[in-house]
Amino acid sequence: MALSKAPLCYTLAAAVSAGAACRSSSTSPSAPDGGVAPAPRRVSVLGDSLAVSPSRSQNFATELQARLNATHPGWTVNNQGVSGDTTTDGVRRMDAALTSDTSILVLELGANDGLRGASIATVEKNLSTIIERAQARGIRVLLCGMETPPFNGFNYSLEFHRVYPRLADRYHLPLVPFLLDGVALNPDLNGDDAIHPNAAGARAIAAVVWPYLEPMIASVPAA
């Protein structure tokens, strides 16, 4: 996530969290012999620096992998987080990021758009494009909501907030209302920059995401 603005810890208190959780489903393709092919068992995380903090080897995606290893062995998390990425970057990268065996996309983008004051219409269009392309490939999407501090005015922050539940309703997606719920503003869960999660923060983010991801995993037929 870009660090060109004032510290997030002083301003995220103005953000509000809301969400909607909806179910989506997909069918497995038929195998060439006429049987049913095993369902893909990969979760791809398309995100920004929040997905690779505090490090590439320890982050909320690796924490999700540990939970899957313990409860749903055989599933793999493919972490496609890139520091500084915006929703525009996500559109550009998504086709390469979503491998053919991807069953679920965890869409974690928008924080940098908000910090840079990208137009709300652009953010919504980009996220819609990613969602529609994923759904067209039979990939279910878990949308991770984000808030933005009022660097660009309170109305901007409010309209930014509304994008995520609106998309969840439009595309019938489960929604994590706020990815950093309980993590933002907590010095014990963030690094020295007060923005990016430390190891404990990564575990806390995984705990926020898990109640929405696990039912999606459980609904996929066993291989």
Q: What is the pLDDT of residues 171-183, one digit of tens each?
A: 999 999 999 999 9
Angle between helix 60-71 and helix 199-218 axes, rounded to 10 deg? 50
pLDDT digits (tens, 9 = 90+) for 134-189: 999 999 999 999 999 999 999 999 999 999 999 999 999 999 999 999 999 999 99
> Which residues participate in catalysis according to the annotation?
49, 193, 196
The pLDDT of residue 132 is: 98
Domains of the chain: 8-14+39-218 (3.40.50.1110)
Q: In what order do the strands lie in the sheet with 76-81?
A: 76-81, 42-47, 102-108, 140-144, 175-176
Q: Please check whether residue 144 is in contact with residue 210, taking contact to mean a CB–CB distance below 8 angstroms.
A: no
Q: Distance (Å, rounded) from C-alpha 167 to C-alpha 125? A: 10
pLDDT at 222: 73
Positions of the chain with pLDDT under 70:
1-39, 223
